[in-house]
């Protein structure tokens, strides 16, 4: 899971914000060394710069090459003894599940390929590790990361277009898998006919909702649109203000979350769209409506900012009817409910807006680095293995991700029963949207966070100006990229 922090300081002027964002990007990447080392790119392999891609297609319209490319004419015997280094950012049970998958693949694959797994522990640590590998001339064959993060490496690392691998009749994922992967997972990593990465452990951003408390407040079901969402959260605030507990006064509604994926979710729920590989814009009709709505309900006192960095305590103690988070927070929330001795029934839902209930999915993709055809093929075969239904089910159990393969659901019946909140999110995947992978979003998400905080401190009539400055700054900062 990508780690994000709530914003707690107001940026006073444009120049300081530009400096702050650039410093944030530099610190997040934690790159070391400035000497450029060109990774050797075989002539037979098509490579793509992960953040400089053409405009996205509305569906995962990736077309395989009609004639078998040279880099796919690898003989099985040529793969024997190849060691694939796989680097990813996860920690805890997810990292353990990936290590177990690598071991199983290494011991059982027919080509005698061995996989070594490295887990630096975070996105920034992964980038620092990659920079060290580039400087030493020893780049991993397979990387799990956000494509826009590789832009910080200043063109020193090249990824491979996976389209031909994906569709190849001999080495590809196969006809069964092609109809088994929901389109949204491929859309996130597809642009201009290029499949730049494979989905592996998609995560969803959702709203957590206390169903029992909602019913006590007089609502038979979770809110289905923005008006009902306002009404239910306001009723929760009114109820807390009128009880005998002074500690919960002013609380009860949605705990405001500055996470960029949360803000993007609200934007989508009001009809906004963010290009997968272009520069995002927020000074639109949808942007003014969405962020105007959040500002209005906040001013009304029905949305509020918590002092704790995580909202789980508030939700477990009925200080919040709703909060925004990701599916991997489900076990944490269950623990908080048990600690508070709270037996309320709770669920998850999408973000209710004028465009309907919206759920965004996000997560690192599996990217092959440019190398000799045999090494690329070995890395591809392990990446393909991670998409098998059995491995996907293991990853879901470990990290509360969503399965890339729909057929994995048959292996997750018990898991869905134990965690009905996760099952609810999984049922919404057909209507989900993907978070962008562009450099514009990689930079713009943090500017969006600052702009929203500024909006909450400003008068409502400042909204158009703030959104225009937001768009201008994203464009300016994106232009500063390599």
* Cα–Cα distance measured from residue 131 to residue 139, given in angstroms and rounded to the nearest whole number: 9
* Cα–Cα distance measured from residue 216 to residue 82, given in angstroms and rounded to the nearest whole number: 61
Give the ranges where 340-438 is alpha helix by DSSP (H). 373-386, 389-399, 413-418, 420-426
Question: Is the same domain home to 177 and 132?
Answer: yes
pLDDT in tens, 326-374: 999 999 999 999 999 999 999 999 999 999 999 999 999 999 998 999 9
The stretch 437-455 carries a mean pLDDT of: 94
pLDDT at 437: 87
Question: Is the same domain home to 114 and 247?
Answer: no
Give the ranges where 201-243 is alpha helix by DSSP (H). 211-216, 226-242
Residues 6 or more apart whose CB falls under 8 angstroms from that of 342 comprise 316, 317, 318
- Is residue 23 included in any domain, yes or no? no
Report the DSSP beta bridge partners of residue 159. Answer: 48, 369
Report the DSSP beta bridge partners of residue 84. Answer: 115
User: Count H helices, E strands: the chain?
Assistant: 18, 18
Query: H or E segment at 175?
Result: helix 175-178
* Cα–Cα distance measured from residue 2 to residue 14, given in angstroms and rounded to the nearest whole number: 27
In which residue are the tokens 């990229």 written?
Answer: 481
Question: Is the same domain home to 288 and 328?
Answer: yes
- Is residue 348 included in any domain, yes or no? yes
Q: Give residue 153's domain range.
A: 40-202+363-428
- Is residue 2 included in any domain, yes or no? no
Q: Which of 428, 452, 468 is the last residue of a domain?
A: 428
Lookup: tokens for 324: 């925004």
The stretch 70-84 carries a mean pLDDT of: 93
pLDDT at 480: 62
- Is residue 27 included in any domain, yes or no? no
Lookup: tokens for 214: 């909602």
Sort 81 into a burial class: Cβ within 10 Å, 0-12 / 13-18 / 19+. exposed
Q: Per the structure, how many domains does the chain have?
A: 2
Question: Is the same domain home to 393 and 352?
Answer: no
In which residue are the tokens 């995962």 written?
Answer: 60
Where residue 152 falls among pLDDT bands split at 50, 70, 90? confident
pLDDT at 50: 38
Residues 6 or more apart whose CB falls under 8 angstroms from that of 11 comprise 17, 20, 450, 454
- Is residue 32 included in any domain, yes or no? no
Question: Is the same domain home to 262 and 340?
Answer: yes
Write down the mean pLDDT value for the chain: 87
Strand, coil or helix: what is 362?
A: strand
Question: Is the same domain home to 330 and 385?
Answer: no
Decide if pLDDT at 58 tops 60: no
Q: Which of 388, 403, 428 is the last residue of a domain?
A: 428
In which residue are the tokens 């037979």 written?
Answer: 44
* Cα–Cα distance measured from residue 150 to residue 207, given in angstroms and rounded to the nearest whole number: 30
Residues 6 or more apart whose CB falls under 8 angstroms from that of 102 comprise 86, 115, 116, 117, 382
Q: Let me know: does 208 contact 224? Beta carbons within 8 Å.
A: no
Question: Is the same domain home to 117 and 67?
Answer: yes
> Which tops the pLDDT comparison, 341 or 153?
341
- Is residue 35 included in any domain, yes or no? no
| Structural Rg of the chain based on CA atoms | 23
Between 52-61, 242-251, 302-311, 448-457, the lowest mean confidence (pLDDT) is in 52-61
> Which tops the pLDDT comparison, 248 or 211?
211
Q: Let me know: does 376 contact 160? Beta carbons within 8 Å.
A: yes
The stretch 19-23 carries a mean pLDDT of: 46
pLDDT in tens, 169-178: 999 999 999 9
Question: Is the same domain home to 397 and 449?
Answer: no
Question: Is the same domain home to 215 and 331?
Answer: yes
- Is residue 317 included in any domain, yes or no? yes
Decide if pLDDT at 51 tops 70: no
The stretch 160-171 carries a mean pLDDT of: 94
> What is the longest distance spanned by two Cα atoms in the chain?
75
pLDDT at 39: 33
Q: Which of 409, 428, 447 is the last residue of a domain?
A: 428
Residues across the chain: 482
- Is residue 473 included in any domain, yes or no? yes
Question: Is the same domain home to 454 and 373?
Answer: no
Report the DSSP beta bridge partners of residue 44. Answer: none
E-strand ranges in 165-285 read: 190-191, 194-195, 198-199, 203-210, 254-255
pLDDT at 63: 54
Between 6-10, 154-158, 332-336, 394-398, the lowest mean confidence (pLDDT) is in 6-10
Where residue 439 falls among pLDDT bands split at 50, 70, 90? confident
pLDDT at 55: 30
* Cα–Cα distance measured from residue 368 to residue 411, given in angstroms and rounded to the nearest whole number: 28
Question: Is the same domain home to 99 and 152?
Answer: yes
Lookup: tokens for 313: 């305590």
Question: Is the same domain home to 198 and 213?
Answer: no
CATH number at residue 349: 3.40.190.10
């Amino acid at each position: 899971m990508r780690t994000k922090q709530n914003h707690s300081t107001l940026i006073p002027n444009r120049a300081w914000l530009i400096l702050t964002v650039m410093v944030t990007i530099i610190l997040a990447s934690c790159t070391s060394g400035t000497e450029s080392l060109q990774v050797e790119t075989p002539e037979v392999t098509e490579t793509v710069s992960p953040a400089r891609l053409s405009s996205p297609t509305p569906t995962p319209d990736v077309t395989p090459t009609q004639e078998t490319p040279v880099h796919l004419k690898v003989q099985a015997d040529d793969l024997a003894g190849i060691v694939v280094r796989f680097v990813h950012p996860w920690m805890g049970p997810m990292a353990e599940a990936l290590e177990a998958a690598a071991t199983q693949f290494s011991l059982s694959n027919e080509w005698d390929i061995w996989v070594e797994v490295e887990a630096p522990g975070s996105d920034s640590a992964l980038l620092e590790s990659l920079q060290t590998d580039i400087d030493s001339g020893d780049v991993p064959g397979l990387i799990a990361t956000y494509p826009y993060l590789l832009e910080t490496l200043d063109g020193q690392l090249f990824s491979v277009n996976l389209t031909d691998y994906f569709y190849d009749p001999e080495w590809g994922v196969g006809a069964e898998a092609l109809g088994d992967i929901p389109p949204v997972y491929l859309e996130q990593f597809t642009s201009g006919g290029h499949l730049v990465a494979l989905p592996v452990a998609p995560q969803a951003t959702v709203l957590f909702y206390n169903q029992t408390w909602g019913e006590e407040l007089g609502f038979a079901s979770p809110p289905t649109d923005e008006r009902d969402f306002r009404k239910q959260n306001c009723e929760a605030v009114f109820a807390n203000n009128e009880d005998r507990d002074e500690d919960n006064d002013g609380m009860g509604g949605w705990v405001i979350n500055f996470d960029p994926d949360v803000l993007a979710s609200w934007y989508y729920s009001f009809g906004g769209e963010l290009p997968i590989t272009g520069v995002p814009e927020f000074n639109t009709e949808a942007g003014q409506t969405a962020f105007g709505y959040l500002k209005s309900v906040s001013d009304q006192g029905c949305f509020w900012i918590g002092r704790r960095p995580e909202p789980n305590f508030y939700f477990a103690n009925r200080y919040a009817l709703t909060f925004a988070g990701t599916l991997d927070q489900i076990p944490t929330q269950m623990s908080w409910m048990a600690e508070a001795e709270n037996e309320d029934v709770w669920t998850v839902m999408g973000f209710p807006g004028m465009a309907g209930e919206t759920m965004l999915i996000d997560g690192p993709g599996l990217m092959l680095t440019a190398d000799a055809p045999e090494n690329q093929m070995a890395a591809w075969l392990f990446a393909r293995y991670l998409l098998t239904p059995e491995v996907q089910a293991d990853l879901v159990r470990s990290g509360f991700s969503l399965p890339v393969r729909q057929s994995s659901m048959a292996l997750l019946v018990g898991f869905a029963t134990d965690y009905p909140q996760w099952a609810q999110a999984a049922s919404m995947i057909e209507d989900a949207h993907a978070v962008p992978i562009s450099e514009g979003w990689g930079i713009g998400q943090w500017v969006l966070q600052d702009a929203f905080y500024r909006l909450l401190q400003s008068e409502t009539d400042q909204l158009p100006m703030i959104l225009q400055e937001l768009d201008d700054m994203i464009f300016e900062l994106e232009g500063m990229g390599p």
